[in-house]
Structure 1
Amino acid sequence: MAFALKFHYCLLFIMVLLPALCSADQDPFTGSRATYYGSPDCLGTPTGACGFGEYGRTVYDGNVAGVSRLYRNGTGCGGCYQVRCTVPKLCTDDGVNVVVTDHGEGDHTDFILSPRGFAGLARPNMALDLMAYGVVDIEFRRVSCRYPRSNLNFKVHENSRFPEYLAIVILYQGGQNDITAVDIWQEDYQQWSSMRRAFGAVWDMPNPPSGGLNLRFQVSGSYGRQRWVQLRNVIPGDWKAGVAYESAIQLN
């Protein structure tokens, strides 16, 4: 009987503690406002300030956003957020997860959502009623990006000119991670050379090394944890502008 009673109290303790443990790694929600922009297909735009191109239009099924202060001079590009609105009777409990692909400022808003993303805030059959507000109060928090069928991709930006100028943008950036630096290995000098953040998520370098390129990039994750990730021959020596090269890794 005593054993059964202890087991009962232990089970009750676990049941009470488990929700706190499961939510310990989640950021708290922050109050703000959100609006949406016009788009004929309700998706994102390929001309966003992050430089993602077509990826920035369709990633996460077009649930994308331009942000203001969260843009952080491009460091915030590729970050994922859970956004939920607080209009009574119109908003879902979970809201929608969006990817940052652009920079934009509205009427005291942190998010300018794609029409599809904004509609995802609403309960079934309530999207038009919610969109009629134009701007709504929201809560948001940073969440992990999930790309179960994709590893990190290194896309050679369309502005690149082989072989004298290379610009790259990193796609499918998983987890709660920011890319804060990118280096290329210079074999002739036996040292790492820094790429410049040209704009948004685009990194560039004039006169890059020839041959297959070894890259390393600095990742700043949850709670300020930083690390370097190094990849060999991630971009081939005959790279072409506009082509994305998939790596063998994903961040989490």
Structure 2
Amino acid sequence: MAAACHPRKCLIISLVLLFLFQTLSLISCRSFNSTIRKGKYNYPTGAPAVATWYGDPYGAGSEGGACGFGKDVSGAKFAKMVSAGGPSLYLSGKGCGACYQVKCASNPSCSRKPVTVVITDSCPGCPEAVHFDLSGTAFGALAKPGQDTALRNAGILQIQYKRVPCKYPGTFVTFHIDSGSNPYYFAVIVEYVNGDGEVASLELKEASGNAWRPMQRLWGVDWKLDSAEECITAYLKFYFTVLLVN
């Protein structure tokens, strides 16, 4: 289940979600307020990297992956323009959802025009300092018209890359409630973070309370809060940190 919200001046998001608990089939209506704060990370601009590709030649690499986006990698917002990242891009899951502009000029079939990809998977065995293991679709998009197959046949490319803002028109951020959530365990997938990109930290509190409780990164873009001693029943607020794009 997902709810998407639109931009507002103060970066405050209000969502109303229907949340189905497994306990007693209880349906609870919840309002989520989300506030963003911004951290800093110095991303390289126009730096060299290596690109390979995996999966189907016209596919999205793999459905699922190490970030938790699942089949959404083939959906309209990602449009299969995704990549697995080597360790310096994946960042143990912290790099999931980051957007990069990549282009190639090292092969005669390269168009030299940049395309934008999103990190949705991990490539732990990629040996280079910066390595994009692109989907077949994204790798082919680097080619001149009609030369995508020839470029994929090259297998490996020297490319240039830079970090860029993510653009998801009409969406500011989307929350997917994990189907395993219940009144004592809450998990949420955060995706389509428009603008600055990946989520660095996430905190939650009940609207009637005063204490912010840090959520733990379960894996990739999946965050959790265990609350074994206290039932999570009220309206909720999120406060999360995103990393600024230079």
How far the C-alpha of 1:28 sits from its partner, in A, is 2.1
Q: Is 1:214 equivalent to 2:234 in the alignment?
A: no
Any residues of structure 2 matched to 1:233-248 within 5 Å, and which? none
How far apart are the structure 1 equivalents of 2:236 and 2:62?
30
SS of structure 2 residue aligned to 1:222: coil
Partner of 1:242: none
What is the correspondence of 1:146-185 to structure 2 with a 5 Å cutoff?
A: 146-158=167-179, 160-185=180-205
Q: In the TM superposition, what whole-angstrom CA distance separates every residue of 1:30-58 from its partner, at most 9, and x where no partner exists?
A: 11111001127512433111111122333
| Percentage of matched positions with identical amino acids | 30
Cα RMSD (Å) of the superposition? 2.1
Q: Deviations over 1:213-240 (max 9, x none)?
A: 11111122135xxxxxxxxxxxxxxxxx
After TM superposition, the structure 1 stretch with the greater mean CA deviation from structure 2, 59-68 or 34-43, is 34-43
Which structure features the higher share of strand residues? 2
Aligned match for 1:78, one of 97, 107, 113: 97
Q: What does residue 164 of structure 2 align with?
A: 143
Partner of 1:62: 80
Q: TM-score, normalised by structure 2?
A: 0.73
SS of aligned partner of 2:242: strand
Runs of 4+ in 1 over 6 A off after TM superposition: none
Higher helix share: 1
| SS of the residue 1:137 aligns to | strand
Alpha-carbon distance in structure 2 between the residues aligned to 1:49 and 1:222: 23
d(CA) in 2 for partners of 1:88, 1:214: 50
How far apart are residue 121 of structure 1 and its match? 0.6
**Bigger radius of gyration, 1 or 2?**
1
Post-superposition offset of 1:117: 0.3
- Structure 2 residue aligned with 1:244: none
Within 5 A, what are the aligned runs for 1:82-121? Answer: 82-104=101-123, 105-106=125-126, 108=128, 110-121=131-142
Contact kept, 8 Å, 1:42 with 1:62, in 2: the verdict is: yes
Identify the residue that residue 31 of structure 2 maps to in structure 1. Answer: none
Within 1, Cα distance between the matches of 2:122 and 2:93? 8
- Please give the TM-score of this superposition, normalised by the length of structure 1: 0.72
Q: Which whole-Å deviations, capped at 9, do the CAs of 1:96-139 have from their partners, x for residues lacking one?
A: 21011011133536101000000001001111111111111111
Contact conserved, 2:102 with 2:161, CA < 8 A, in 1? yes
Highest RCO, 1 vs 2 (Cα 8 Å, sep ≥ 6): 2
May I ask how many residue pairs the two structures share in their alignment?
197
> Shift in Å at residue 87 of structure 1?
2.2
CA distance in 2, matches of 1:112, 1:85: 14
Q: Is the 8 A contact 2:200 2:242 kept in 1?
A: yes
Q: Distance in 2 between matches of 1:157 and 1:83?
A: 32
Q: Which runs of 5+ in 1 are unaligned?
A: 1-25, 224-252
How many angstroms apart in 2 are the aligned matches of 1:91 and 1:28? 20
Contact 1:57–1:64 (CA<8 Å) still a contact in 2?
no
The 1:56–1:166 alpha-carbon spacing in structure 2 relative to 1, beyond 3 Å, is farther
Change (3 A) 1:106 1:100: same
- Counterpart CA distance in 2 for 1:99 and 1:42 is 14
Deviation at 1:189, TM superposition (A): 5.7
Say which of 39, 50, 75 aligns to 1:33. Answer: 50
Give the drift of 1:27. Answer: 5.6
How far the C-alpha of 1:163 sits from its partner, in A, is 2.1
> Which segments of 5 or more consecutive residues in structure 2 lack a partner in the other structure?
1-42
Partners of 1:41 and 1:128 in 2: how far apart?
Answer: 10
